Structure 1
Amino acid sequence: MEVKFYHQIDDTLLKFAVVFARYQGKWVYCRHKDRDTYEAPGGHRELGESIEMAAKRELYEETGAVEYDIKPICVYSVEGKTRVNESGDESFGKLFYAEIYRFEELPGYEIEEVRFFKDLPQELTYPLIQPVLLKKLQENNYVKEG
């Protein structure tokens, strides 16, 4: 599994949006109804949707966040087989950071629960990817460790 970072690529290659979000100083993580692990909000870009729209939609659908500041951080890619990429070919996404101020009720989609963590949870859905993305945020002073 290899995670790479880019300043920019052709927009049509961006398939995923991942949002590392904080609320009252803690990380916001979701647990899918079909899993026992946690992940940062995010998901696939839908047809006709900008990657920024995808990030905002996923943030709402997976957390219920309705008031927040969100900003793009960088483009990343993952090479290697994952649950959402069976081919293992390089796939591209955009990393975002959000500061959440208010939630509404969690929409009844695929997320079972939202939890807040001081640090990365031990039970990650993507343990080889999410820590690398979080480290990128910290290296660029978007958020401080701890």
Structure 2
Amino acid sequence: MLDGMNKVLLQRRGDDYNWCIPGGGMDLGETVEETAKREVYEETGLVIDEMKLFNVYSGESQHHIYPDGNEFYFVNVVYVSRAYKGEVLIDGEETKELKYFDIYELPQTLSKTNVPVFEDLRRRLSEIK
């Protein structure tokens, strides 16, 4: 989610305390679009009005090991939205903090699986309306 000054909303996760794009796993029967909207709402309190497919990420760059030892290779379907509403809400469990960051000044503790997303976002920012 991008604001009018090209700042991106990031979530500080409750499990590994890294910053990342809000998201999560699909529920049975959901579309990826439904999942994206539900997860953003659950983790931020914001409702997405419109979103556009940005890219799909998979492979070695999407390898993640959680603090409890669970290991995954994600398939991240990333959408971009500038059209959303509501008030930011933090649940204190999955989300410890929410903050907008300039895409050129991201936190040091950015989730490694998000790095390729931001590399692409910087290159393609002028295409996103």
Q: Please give the TM-score of this superposition, normalised by the length of structure 2.
A: 0.75
| Paired residue total | 120
| Inter-partner Cα distance in structure 1 for 2:11 and 2:118 | 15
Higher strand share: 1
| Corresponding position of 1:114 | 98
The aligned residue for residue 59 of structure 2 is: 78
Cα RMSD for the two superposed structures = 2.6
- Identity in percent: 32
Q: Does 1:102 align with 2:85?
A: yes
Mapped partners of 2:3, 2:22: distance in 1: 13
Structure 1, unmatched stretches of 5+, are 1-20
State the alpha-carbon separation in 1 of the partners of residues 119 and 29 from structure 2.
Answer: 31
Higher mean displacement: 110-119 or 96-105: 96-105
Residues of 2 paired with 1:58 and 1:28: CA distance? 14
Q: Is the CA contact 2:90–2:96 (under 8 Å) kept in the aligned structure 1?
A: no
Query: How has the CA–CA distance of structure 1 residues 48 and 81 changed in structure 2, closer, same or farther, with 3 Å as cutoff?
Result: same
Given residue 114 of structure 2, which amino acid in structure 1 is its aligned partner? Q
Provide TM-score, normalisation by structure 1: 0.67
Matches of 2:9 and 2:37 in 1, distance apart? 14
How far did residue 54 of structure 1 move?
0.6
Q: Pick the structure with more helix per residue.
A: 2
Structure-1 separation of matches of 2:82 and 2:44: 12
Gaps of 5+ in 2: none
Report the residue type matching 2:15 in the other structure: D
Q: Deviations over 1:8-30 (max 9, x none)?
A: xxxxxxxxxxxxx1124211000
**Partners of 1:101 and 1:49 in 2: CA distance:** 20
Measure how far apart 1:100 and its partner are.
Answer: 4.5
